[in-house]
Structure 1
Amino acid sequence: MSLDSVEKLVFPKTPYYDEVLNLVLNNTQKGIVFTNERNEIIYVNKTFTDITGYSFEEVKGKTPKVLQSGIQPSNFYEEMKREVLENGYWNGTLWNRTKNGEIYLQELEIYAFRNKEGKIENFLGIISKFSEEEMVKVSGSLDIEYYDPLTSLPNRLLFEKRLHSTLQLLKRIDTNAALIFFQVQNYHDINETYGLLFGDLLLKRLAKRLENNLPMNSMLARWNGTTFAYIMEGYRDQKDIEKVIEKFSKILTSTFVINGISLNISVKFGVAMHESSQEMIDVCTFLKMAKKALVQAKKRDVLYCFYDQSMEMNGHYVIIESDIIRAIKNKEFVLYYQPLLTTDSKELAGFEALIRWHHPTEGLITPGNFIPLAEKSGLINDIGEYVFREACEQQVRWRKSGYGDLLVSVNLSMNQFQDDSLVNYIARTLQETGANPNYISIELTESSFSEDVENTIIKLKQLSELGITIAIDDFGTGYSSLGYLIDFPIHTIKIDRTFIKVIEENEKIEAIVRAINSMAKALDIKVVAEGIETDTQFELVKQLECDIVQGFLFDRPQEPKIIEQKWLANKL
């Protein structure tokens, strides 16, 4: 749509033309902002003031940048500008900030007006602010990467952008902000007792309860797992924050009734505060402070803790997207290897390659602390390509050291598997490194397989034709496991560790594992039992005739040098 396509209505130039025009503009429900060729504001209507809190005198001569929230990236505005200059029109949804700091969602239309020579002389902006109900509906369809699919709350990526916006506000006006992390403490027990689907329902109910009780100038996000993050602006003192925590605690600890089952949860809170008068901090530092306070609340077994300097030596590192980008660039990721053993003789059958992060200040960071963010931010493919290449190169190094060809199993994420360039990348990497594809296994979770069964089969067959072994990881946790074995060229299945964990106490789980083994043998598929931690578990999976075992009972993931000393020295 452009200005040329707008139906033109000619209003008669009567003596009261200006009065009528002013009356119309100030009684519309949409905000109007008019700027000159330099995008400096020369007119706003009453609704603009109602929406933004800014009077004309306060914004006259300024650009609409005064409204920016900091949530949209700079390239968002660059693309907006390009489209307006090229097409004379832009329409979209974005987050802006009012004079008093409130973040709001709006729809914006921009028109460019050109003179007879084709030069832009003015811009017209038409603003529509969404109501709270409309905001809930629209935000879910804005950009799926910014919202948690389970709870529909903002995720950590959007929350970090909002946090950046809050800290920028503290630079401009005299106010303050509190960042609160809180975590459900007994969620694991609930999952163990009632199952994962029950736990998911609980998190949905929890999020809905809180959403209905959020004050203005705040945002609640699902950070990860059972941890949530909350930012509030403009509190009076610490007692205000304590009241919010007590309110949240009361809401969350009230009895939940799910599928006729009543249960209660417990929560812990960690709080960091910052004021305009204090030295400016960045998003990463603010997050660290609140996370450290949460750690202390759990250690002291109290409802909440406020951050103070004494916690500096005791906190957990909070990872943000820029940390991962730097780690990829500086090659801080490394591979550890965990042995796979034959069940009948405990002979070495190969290794699973597992990524670790050697952080320059925080030491070794396990994948559970950075892989979820890498997946959401789109960096998982970069990490995955590094893992596959490094695993291939390690296989070659071991061969050249005289250990022979050793099976190396590599995990692929859903994003990697669904990338159209995957097969070409793997084929090229095998050729460039000289790795033996017959001793490379790719582990995929069931979620990696798209609904497009035909394309999935084609891709798996292409990988198999390269000589690579295909394994399904966490087998049994999805709903379509049996269908995969029939339709797809699968060579190995790895029984989910949650089955192994309870196999000693649960006869039904034992029966399921026995059935999986019987079916796999009929289909000529090998079975790996992972997560073996006790001798009893090992004896059970041995009786059930699993082919391969893996777990802490035999060894933890280790660096290549330690692997060579413990597992490969006798091969020379």
Structure 2
Amino acid sequence: MSQTANKMSNALCIALWVVDTDRASIAWSNCHAKTLLRQNSSAANFDREFFFDDDFLATLRLMTVAYDIGEQVTFDWPTPLGKDDIIECVSTIISLGGERRGLSVQALFSNSSPLDAEIGLIKQLGSLSVAMLDYDGGFLEVSDVFASRFGTVSSMSDLFVTNSNTCAFMSKLSLGQPFTQEIRLSTLNSVHWHQLEVVFHPEGKVLLMANDIQQERGRENEIFRLHHFDVLTGLPNRYHLYQTLENILESGNKRFEHWGILYLDLDNFKIVNDTFDHRVGDELIQQVALRIQSVIPNNAELYRLGGDEFVILLTNILGVESLQEVANLITRNALNTYFIANMEMMVTASIGIACYPEHGDNVDHLLKNADAAMYRAKSIGHNTSFVFDVDMIDTIRAHLTLGGGLRKAIEEEEFELFYQPKVRLSDEVTVGAEALIRWFHPELGLISPDQFIPMAEESGMILPLGEWVIRTACKQIKTWQDQGIPPISVSVNLSGRQFMQTDLVEMVAQVLEETGVDSQYLELELTESMLMADAQQTIEKLHAFRKLGVTLSIDDFGTGYSSLAYLKKFPIQTLKIDRSFVNDLGISGGDDAIVKATIAMAKSLNLKVIAEGVENRSQIDVLNGFQCQEVQGYLFAKPMSNKDFVHYMKTQKMVNVSDVLSSVTSTI
């Protein structure tokens, strides 16, 4: 240690003690603290029986509440020492276990020169990295800690990373006023952030404390990064987006700039997360982010809001056409597959477009309107975009209203199942029915499934709603049988998310047992895309249903991408030809060929075929010629309430289910 540093050490006495404010006691103290404070107490046991003035104790307790653990507070301790009236102290708020707090107090006292006292004042701030300078920035003496950190230095210019930093520091030094500065300094190991505190003394000396704050800066940077950026993708997050939009909006109001956003939501991403490990979903999100970043222009920035939602901000654009061009780039690129976990996956996005100032005059309105446009794009079809329109405001209100009322609607029985007959084509005997869910809202009236089913999927309410449909259909079967109506089966179309329920088979078995319905009267319908999401897992679940005795069918056959090899492995009994192929039967040779080939294939696999959407006799003639077994459509009957369906069954030709099993199909 240098001669000056030795003088510092010998001249200064560091008194340390811990105050327990709850117990109004000094919990611990070193010998210097006892020397410093003992004269204020005649107690034999100094640490436990030290006397506190009530007002001063109240002040100390207030400090422990007002400051956080680890914060430092400078205050005066009202204990006489010789001719002095107070002791200047620095305390740190500490934890004494549980919720108890206290103060770790430090004081320096000296009979040395005023210059040594100044050094002590700096050291009491919690740092031992101290140096003495002249007014020109030259080093006179340094402490051991300072030397171990910075090595041999002769002037402040040896510490600073750049000449400009040196000039700035010397400029402040020339003013002769104490100051504090945070700056990067060159240490022996690397460049670190430091907090410099400078104190001047009348004897022409400058005392410098250099406190290393690299770790604190690192923590601040990490907190900033976590607050502003998405952990999974590294993209700026929702908070960062709002800050950016607010700043751009302010500048846009001044310069009348055009800018806009694309609101992206991945199509059917929940199926990926529900079908595969979440790590697969995370990797897919990462690859989607990288691909989008690779195609968007330089004036665009990608943000991740969370989950499978992204926003692209474009500035300095000519108009909404610029936004549409970027949206088209993304949708075209989405058709390329992703290679993840030894699988090829394709995921598309629905994109909502909103432009400032046409579609919103503030951040919230613009994002809400872009979000609404995204949902409109999703309703039109996947991998497409839609530009916000003012006429969509009513749709937004309805979306919010309906989305919040689904659970209440289930609890208050606002839903009802309607039924549409299914007819055997050979003799036009009614052999079953299709069940369609309806929502009779107390204020909005009849709400189409096209409106509330997507909301149920998004919110997760599709699971309780789907269970309600299965339970209600089974109860209805039992009621019809009790009324003496020949038994027919009822089928329920499962949603993708519902089919991925791990306990779906158990739930269906429980409903059948509770309602007392034979499993042969319940049929479950699934879409092609649902079956092919994870073919092996699907096969296992389907066999579990068949073991239970439930009938299975593929709905809307021909609109998906079933593999014939897998179709042979699926324990399916029925194929339903989608109405889009039935509409132009007898008119379109292409549709005729598709329907004929489907029926022939189903016959070879020993599957029954039902044609949906039959509305005229010419379609019946064609289907009869192709030997289709069953049909349904407006030609025979529209969907009807339970009361009307019971009347229909009593007045129409019926057949017992033991002769021909058919099903009732729900729209969920």
Match of 2:513 among 400, 423, 431: 431
The 8 Å contact of residues 418 and 438 in structure 2, kept in 1 or not, is answered as yes
Q: Does the C-alpha gap of structure 1 residues 514 and 98 become closer, same or farther in structure 2, counting only changes over 3 Å?
A: closer
Q: Does the C-alpha gap of structure 1 residues 420 and 49 become closer, same or farther in structure 2, counting only changes over 3 Å?
A: closer
The 8 Å contact of residues 430 and 652 in structure 2, kept in 1 or not, is answered as no
Match of 1:95 among 230, 233, 237: 237
Counterpart amino acid of residue 248 in structure 1: L
Q: Does the C-alpha gap of structure 1 residues 31 and 368 become closer, same or farther in structure 2, counting only changes over 3 Å?
A: farther
Taking the aligned partners of 1:257 and 1:289, their CA distance within structure 2 comes to: 22
The 8 Å contact of residues 425 and 628 in structure 2, kept in 1 or not, is answered as yes
Taking the aligned partners of 2:613 and 2:325, their CA distance within structure 1 comes to: 38
Taking the aligned partners of 1:316 and 1:52, their CA distance within structure 2 comes to: 36
> Match for residue 319 of structure 2?
244
The 8 Å contact of residues 342 and 548 in structure 1, kept in 2 or not, is answered as yes
Taking the aligned partners of 1:364 and 1:148, their CA distance within structure 2 comes to: 39
* 5+ long unaligned stretches in structure 1: 1-10, 33-40, 54-63, 77-90, 104-135, 155-203, 260-266, 295-302
> Match for residue 416 of structure 1?
498
SS state of the match for residue 370, structure 1? helix
How many residues get paired?
A: 404
> Match for residue 406 of structure 1?
488
The 8 Å contact of residues 339 and 351 in structure 1, kept in 2 or not, is answered as yes
SS state of the match for residue 636, structure 2? coil
Q: Give 1:101 shift.
A: 0.5
Q: Does the C-alpha gap of structure 1 residues 304 and 424 become closer, same or farther in structure 2, counting only changes over 3 Å?
A: closer
Q: Give 1:514 shift.
A: 1.9
Q: Give 1:306 shift.
A: 6.1
Match of 1:549 among 631, 638, 652: 631
> Match for residue 553 of structure 2?
471
Match of 2:543 among 461, 468, 483: 461
SS state of the match for residue 102, structure 1? helix
Q: Give 1:389 shift.
A: 0.8
Task: Give RMSD over aligned pairs.
Answer: 5.6
Q: Give 1:401 shift.
A: 2.6
> Match for residue 417 of structure 2?
335
Match of 1:317 among 398, 404, 420: 398
SS state of the match for residue 317, structure 1? helix
Q: Give 1:529 shift.
A: 0.8
Taking the aligned partners of 2:305 and 2:218, their CA distance within structure 1 comes to: 31
Taking the aligned partners of 2:436 and 2:581, their CA distance within structure 1 comes to: 21
The 8 Å contact of residues 147 and 153 in structure 1, kept in 2 or not, is answered as no
Taking the aligned partners of 2:628 and 2:446, their CA distance within structure 1 comes to: 33
Taking the aligned partners of 1:371 and 1:523, their CA distance within structure 2 comes to: 33
Q: CA offsets, 1:371-404, max 9 Å, x none?
A: 3443354433222211111111111222223323
Counterpart amino acid of residue 543 in structure 2: K
Q: Which moved more, 1:378-387 or 1:210-219?
A: 210-219
SS state of the match for residue 360, structure 2? strand
Q: Does the C-alpha gap of structure 1 residues 544 and 147 become closer, same or farther in structure 2, counting only changes over 3 Å?
A: farther
Taking the aligned partners of 1:15 and 1:393, their CA distance within structure 2 comes to: 86
The 8 Å contact of residues 29 and 47 in structure 1, kept in 2 or not, is answered as no
Q: CA offsets, 1:27-46, max 9 Å, x none?
A: 999999xxxxxxxx999649
Q: Does the C-alpha gap of structure 1 residues 51 and 331 become closer, same or farther in structure 2, counting only changes over 3 Å?
A: same
* 5+ long unaligned stretches in structure 2: 1-128, 130-143, 151-158, 161-182, 195-212, 246-265, 267-271, 336-351, 378-385, 655-668
Match of 1:355 among 421, 437, 442: 437
TM-score (norm 1): 0.55
Q: Does the C-alpha gap of structure 1 residues 99 and 399 become closer, same or farther in structure 2, counting only changes over 3 Å?
A: closer
Counterpart amino acid of residue 273 in structure 1: G
Q: Give 1:321 shift.
A: 5.3
Q: Give 1:409 shift.
A: 1.5
Taking the aligned partners of 2:192 and 2:609, their CA distance within structure 1 comes to: 63
The 8 Å contact of residues 236 and 303 in structure 2, kept in 1 or not, is answered as no
> Match for residue 171 of structure 1?
none
Counterparts of 1:90-489 in structure 2, within 5 Å, are 95=237, 97-98=239-240, 101-102=243-244, 152=288, 211-212=296-297, 215=300, 243-249=318-324, 272-275=359-362, 307=390, 317-319=398-400, 322-449=404-531, 455-489=537-571
TM-score (norm 2): 0.48
Percent of residue pairs bearing the same amino acid type: 31
Taking the aligned partners of 2:389 and 2:322, their CA distance within structure 1 comes to: 17
SS state of the match for residue 490, structure 1? coil
Q: Give 1:547 shift.
A: 0.7
Q: Give 1:15 shift.
A: 3.4
Q: Does the C-alpha gap of structure 1 residues 508 and 93 become closer, same or farther in structure 2, counting only changes over 3 Å?
A: closer
Counterpart amino acid of residue 318 in structure 1: H
Q: Give 1:526 shift.
A: 0.9
